[in-house]
Amino acid sequence: MKRCPKCGKTYTEPLNFCLDDGELLLDDGVQRPFDDSPPTVMMSDARTTNPTNWSAPPVQYQAPQMWQQPMYAPSPNQTLPVVSMCLGIGSVTIGWCCSLGLLLGPAALITGWIGFSQAKKDPQSYGGKGMAIAGMITGGVFLALYLVFIILYGAALFFGGLGN
């Protein structure tokens, strides 16, 4: 049995607080035979897990950063050597059909020569000396083979026509 210390009302139900005034009920000390309800345990104040009085770390002022030069060296320009090498390879591979190589071969020689001379004069800004050489070689090889082909074809027509 429990009683309210404020109003003096007694309760036989397993209550912890007075229904009239909300006061904590006191146990009168008599153990009831079928009362298996655990005793009320008083706990300390609740732990604050999200305090509202903490202070944020101070924000430090940072001056705006000026533009800085990149830490790496810029790569040299290799556009003309790449174009020369592609034109030279194109003249050798697809240049035989419809004489497209007569346009690609000289273009490979010209762009290769310009790219090679730029890389030779200013190697810091221009690169691709090897690709320029490869483009000039493939373009020159095509033109030389085409010239040999024209000479042999003309000789075959000339000497083949004399026999008739």
Range with the lowest mean pLDDT among 53-67, 93-107, 135-149? 53-67
pTM score, two decimals?
Answer: 0.53
pLDDT for 29 equals 66
Place of tokens 């009920």: 25
Q: How many CA atoms lie within 13 A of 41 on its CB side?
A: 4
The residue among 61 and 139 whose pLDDT is bigger is 139
- Kindly give, in sequence order, each residue whose CB lies less than 8 Å from that of residue 54, ignoring residues fewer than 6 positions away: none
Find the mean pLDDT for residues 10-30: 82
Listed in sequence order, the residues at least 6 apart from 68 whose beta carbon sits closer than 8 Å to its beta carbon are none
